Amino acid sequence: MGDQKVYNPPKSDMFYGKGSVNSQGPFVDVRQRVAPGLFTEVDRQWRAKWLKAQELSKREKAFHFYYLWDNADFRKARLNPIRRMWQAPGDAFERLLRPSMGLQKAFMTKWFIGKTMWLGAFVLTANYYSKYNSSDWSSKGGWKVHTSKPVTMPGNPHYPKKDPQWERVTPSKYNDQGFSKMTLPLKTSTPLTYN
């Protein structure tokens, strides 16, 4: 196979070089079955038996992949114990819906309800965090919210001038983050230690 100094590895094989058992035999090609003297009566009986084995029974035709996940051994082989416990309420809910909705619709309903609950938990967490942990001068982290001044509308007594309530007259009013509303007697000259 060419130059001996060049590395020429064996070609890839889906059976890892161990070969496979061909259950159809050599007569999978119709040309070999119609060749005179090649396709004997024994081969014909064997092929008829093989074709009969390929037919699905009523139970096999009705078997759906969703039923495979109902098998406890199948789930145990594929899912870890924590995931099985986590999915148990949703699976029970899905099996409850199957008689009235069918396999696919019951699964999709369970899936969408689960994802909606995840989304709701995220929205509630973000809402709580933004309400109670944002725009606070006392912490370095957290969300910092910067709002612009509202527009002075014709109903405002200061219209068309700027509303003095929202004007920042001193530099300390910019990016205040609630510091001016602090009630602690905190000053820059506060000593760090007391004698």
Q: 31 vs 12, which has greater pLDDT?
A: 31
Q: How confident is the model at residue 191 (pLDDT cuts 50, 70, 90)?
A: low
Question: Is residue 101 packed enough to be buried (19+ CB in 10 Å), middle (13-18) or exposed (0-12)?
Answer: middle
What residue has token string 């509308």? 153
The contacts of residue 170 (CB under 8 Å, 6+ apart) are none
Crossing angle of helices 103-132 and 81-101, rounded to 10°: 120
Selected residue with higher pLDDT from 90 and 192: 90
What are the tens digits of pLDDT across the range 98-113? 999 999 999 999 999 9
pLDDT tens-digit map of 161-183: 888 888 877 777 777 777 777 77
Mean pLDDT of all residues in 146-167:
85
Mean pLDDT of the chain: 84
* Local confidence band at 9 (pLDDT 50, 70, 90 cut-offs): confident
Q: What is the pLDDT of residue 130?
A: 82
What percentage of the chain has pLDDT greater than the value 90? 29
Are the C-beta atoms of residues 48 and 87 closer than 8 Å to each other? no
Q: For position 190, what pLDDT does the model report? A: 60
Instruction: Give the integer Cα–Cα distance in Å for 129 and 126.
Output: 5
Overall size of the chain counted in residues: 195
- pLDDT tens, 35-66? 888 888 998 898 899 899 888 888 787 777 88
Q: Supply angle C-alpha 141, 143, 144, rounded to 5.
A: 100
